[in-house]
Structure 1
Amino acid sequence: MPPETNFSSLLDYDSVEAYLQQLFFLSKSQLKKSELSKKFLQKAVHRKDQLQIPLDLANNLEINPKYLGKKIEIIFKDDQVAIFNKPYNLHSHPLNYTGQDNCLSFFRKGGRNLGVNLNINKLNYGRGLLYRLDYGTSGVMFYINDEGLLHNLRENFSKLVKKKSYLAIVSGEVRGDGAIESYFKYIGSKDSKAELLSKNNYLGGDFPLGKLEYVVRNYNSSEKVSLLEVSLITGLRHQIRAQLASIGHPILGDTLYGGKEAARIFLHAYKYEVEIGEKKYVGKSLDAELFSRFFDLDCGL
């Protein structure tokens, strides 16, 4: 059962639903998805009534100061931007208050000296993150400390984010560099998996087009895996994972898309370049945990 906390009402309310909406700024949709029953939500609330409320609702949109995860490397920070290296198997941001395995809880626990202002964009759990990485993906992330700048960068993402490069270890020998273009359709529970439609088989519909390019950096003949540097032209959910699988070279560890089981999903955000005014911020990290089992990243990149 989710953790709860006790509240005493200071006023009368027509229902628990009205009480929670007014006190915690919760939407009807959030309450509907919660563990609270319809009968409980419709119950009248009287002054001095004691209510047990799930902690996730009582602390809606707050970041938990408890952190469960590895230490996060800060690559660079100034007043506008913090650039850091996300470990694999860690969420970019929480989905609720009780979530502790995420980057923002690390920054909440560490305090403002880490260079991250969690007091912006407070109606969104993503706060100042410019983009997110999948749970299993490691690598460079940008946190923007000014709300106006954050919205401008997000609105002009394709124009101002100049480079999005990833390293991927894939099954088999990839023979030659290449590019992939395909339309994306999301399927499964909560659209959890991407299904690709080739440009030749596209019959119309509201499906986004994903584009990427890749360069072969190395091949490990004993393990039969290739190291690719992937440049994202667009940026769709699961784009690299699904498109590399579509050419017969799934990412090692990415079982959702047919990859062999491994200690992690071997996908790492290696380099991002972001233009802010007259300044170009470059975030780069070759600290991709466990990649060294297969390749020396200090050679040839």
Structure 2
Amino acid sequence: MDYSITLPAFQKTVTLRELLENDWLIPRKVRHFLRIRRNVWRNHQPIKFHEFVYANDLITLRIEESDYTYQKVNSGLKENLHILYEDEHLIVLNKPAGVKTHPNQPTETGTLLNDLTAYLSDQGTQPYVVHRLDKETSGIILFAKNPLVLPILGRLLEKKKIHRRYQATVWGKLSSDCTINKKIGRDRHDRRKRIIDPKGGKPATTQINVYQMHKNTSEIYCTLTTGRTHQIRVHLASIGHPVIGDPLYQNKKAPRLALHAYEMELFHPFTQEKLTITAEPGLF
């Protein structure tokens, strides 16, 4: 499949190799196939990796989809989707609480990926999972619409260039902003859970900003610089302020987990346009 991208007006003059590797973060394996197959064109003319590209050039890449594995899933109901942003490469959704991001088995239905598969089938394409939200968490979630951009978005996440901000309501009065730096690992006694593990865990950092305090609860914003499983939930429980409605890390009942992925900010991988997307109405 061919993908054509017009370089922005502020694009610096660089070689094609530098554009693919440094600007677009295209993985080495993909760059290798593009080079040996001569699957890159500039303004409809073949271009070699050492040649220069310029502002407003049209760059066309041919990606062999057989180079990527894709597990087919059943189509769901496209009417269920709440789309926040979409272009030919990305789609950002507002996930309802209680809906899984993707099926664990090929025959499973009722997940966000099932519904998105139905929607994108009309466009002749299919969705690719970039990251996940817990079933109980609502809010912003990003999917790739083609295999070209999928590894690029993955690298942006790894390089902490996709910023995510969450809303949460927690038990107790959290009186001041703070940063939680605690390593997170698996709970050996419950495979569903994560724990604070100073020795064997992976580094995790959550920035907490207090929005409003009430008699027994606090409304806060959480900004992630890492993306560990259950990170916000585990970190907040570890300081004595678990998220309200958390079925794993506190015992009090509530209608739902009070955690919402409220905002995502990134620079578009190809146009370098700054995207700031919010999922309204949120929790507060």
* 1:88 alignment partner AA: A
Residues 191 and 152 of structure 1: is their aligned pair in 2 closer, same or farther, counting only changes over 3 Å? same
Distance in 2 (alpha carbons) for counterparts of 1:208 and 1:70: 39
Q: Choose which of 216, 223, 226 in structure 1 pairs with 2:218.
A: 226
Q: What fraction of aligned residue pairs are identical, expressed as a percent?
A: 26
How many pairs does the alignment contain? 213
What is the aligned partner in structure 1 of residue 72 from structure 2?
62
Distance in 2 (alpha carbons) for counterparts of 1:148 and 1:189: 40
The answer to whether the 8 A contact 1:182-1:196 is kept is yes
Matched, 1:242 2:210: no
The answer to whether the 8 A contact 2:165-2:221 is kept is yes
What is the aligned partner in structure 2 of residue 185 from structure 1?
185
The answer to whether the 8 A contact 2:160-2:225 is kept is no
Structure-2-length-normalised TM-score? 0.69
The answer to whether the 8 A contact 1:61-1:96 is kept is no
3-state SS in 1 of match to 2:233 = helix
3-state SS in 2 of match to 1:286 = coil
Cα offset, 1:86, TM superposition? 0.4
The answer to whether the 8 A contact 1:171-1:259 is kept is no
Matched, 1:164 2:158: no
* Cα RMSD after superposing both structures: 2.3
What is the aligned partner in structure 2 of residue 210 from structure 1?
204
Cα offset, 1:172, TM superposition? 1.1
Q: Choose which of 99, 107, 126 in structure 2 pairs with 1:98.
A: 107
What is the aligned partner in structure 2 of residue 284 from structure 1?
278
What is the aligned partner in structure 2 of residue 143 from structure 1?
143
The answer to whether the 8 A contact 1:82-1:116 is kept is no
Give 5+ residue unaligned stretches, structure 2.
1-69
Cα offset, 1:142, TM superposition? 1.1
The answer to whether the 8 A contact 1:161-1:272 is kept is no
Cα offset, 1:178, TM superposition? 0.4
Cα offset, 1:79, TM superposition? 0.7
Cα offset, 1:145, TM superposition? 1.5
Distance in 1 (alpha carbons) for counterparts of 2:263 and 2:251: 24
* 1:208 alignment partner AA: K
Superposed CA deviations along residues 266-297 of structure 1, whole A, max 9, x for unmatched, are 11101111222422222211233xx3xxxxx3
Distance in 2 (alpha carbons) for counterparts of 1:89 and 1:110: 20
Superposed CA deviations along residues 129-170 of structure 1, whole A, max 9, x for unmatched, are 221000000100111122122112213424363411000010
Q: Choose which of 248, 253, 258 in structure 2 pairs with 1:261.
A: 253
3-state SS in 1 of match to 2:205 = strand
Distance in 1 (alpha carbons) for counterparts of 2:220 and 2:142: 23
Distance in 1 (alpha carbons) for counterparts of 2:208 and 2:234: 14
* 1:146 alignment partner AA: N
Residues 61 and 158 of structure 1: is their aligned pair in 2 closer, same or farther, counting only changes over 3 Å? closer
Matched, 1:71 2:86: no
Distance in 2 (alpha carbons) for counterparts of 1:265 and 1:75: 22
Distance in 2 (alpha carbons) for counterparts of 1:167 and 1:85: 14
The answer to whether the 8 A contact 2:96-2:137 is kept is yes
Give 5+ residue unaligned stretches, structure 1.
1-59, 119-126, 292-296
Superposed CA deviations along residues 39-72 of structure 1, whole A, max 9, x for unmatched, are xxxxxxxxxxxxxxxxxxxxx93211245x9822
3-state SS in 2 of match to 1:229 = strand
Structure-1-length-normalised TM-score? 0.65
Distance in 2 (alpha carbons) for counterparts of 1:254 and 1:65: 30
* 1:257 alignment partner AA: Y
* 1:117 alignment partner AA: T
Matched, 1:81 2:75: no
